[in-house]
Amino acid sequence: MAILKIARMGHPVLATPAKAVEDPKSPEIRRLIKDMVETMMDANGAGLAAPQVHIPLRVVVFQAPGERAGLPREEDGGLNEEERFDHTAPQTVLINPEIEVLGPEIEGGWEGCLSVPGLRGWVERPAHIRYRGVGLDGETIERVARGFHARVVQHECDHLEGRLYTSRMSDLSRLIFESEIRHFHSNEGQAAS
C-alpha cells in the first residue's frame, strides 16, 4: 500500500467527469482502493474520490464516524424519537456509485476537502438520499442516508462529476480558513443577538 499524492483545486483532473470502472474486481482497482483508504486515513479525511489522487475513475471511499457527524441539536429544531436516524457510516468503498434524492429537504453544513486544504465552506445539500454502487468484493451496496452520512457521500460523488464543494456554495462569504472558524461562529452569534 502507498500514500498517494492528492490533487489540489485547479488541477484539471478535479474538473473532469470520471469514467466508469469496467472491472471492479481487477487487481488494479483493488490496489487503488487500498491505497485510497490508506491515503484518506493518513490525511484524516472523511472521504476520498479517485480523481483526487489523479485517477479519473468512478471510485470513492468514505466513512462517517459519529464524532464528526455534528448531530442535530434541540435548538436547531431537533428530532423527536420517531425521526431519529443514524448519521454514521462504516468505512465504505463504492465503485460506479449512483445517488437518488429522496425528498425536498435541504440541509446546510460546513465542508472541507483534502483538495482544498485549509478552507471550510457552508454548503447546502439534499438531506435524504439513497445511494448504490459496487463494493470492494463486487457486492452491491445500497443504503439510505441522512445527515453527515448523506453529506459525505454527496461530496465524494461530486468529485466524480468534476465538481468541488466550492461550486455548490451560494454565499462565498461563508468560505473561510479553518483556523478562523471560531471567529466566524462568534461573529455570527453577535450578529444574531
* Active site residues per annotation: 156
Closest CA to 54 of 2, 127, 92: 2
What is the C-alpha separation between 25 and 149, in angstroms, rounded? 26
Tell me the three-class secondary structure of 1-66, residue by residue: CCCCCCCCCCCHHHHCCCECCCCCCCHHHHHHHHHHHHHHHHCCCCEEEHHHHCCCECEEEEEECH
Asked if 43 and 35 touch (Cβ cutoff 8 Å), the reply is: no
Specify the 3-state DSSP secondary structure of 135: coil
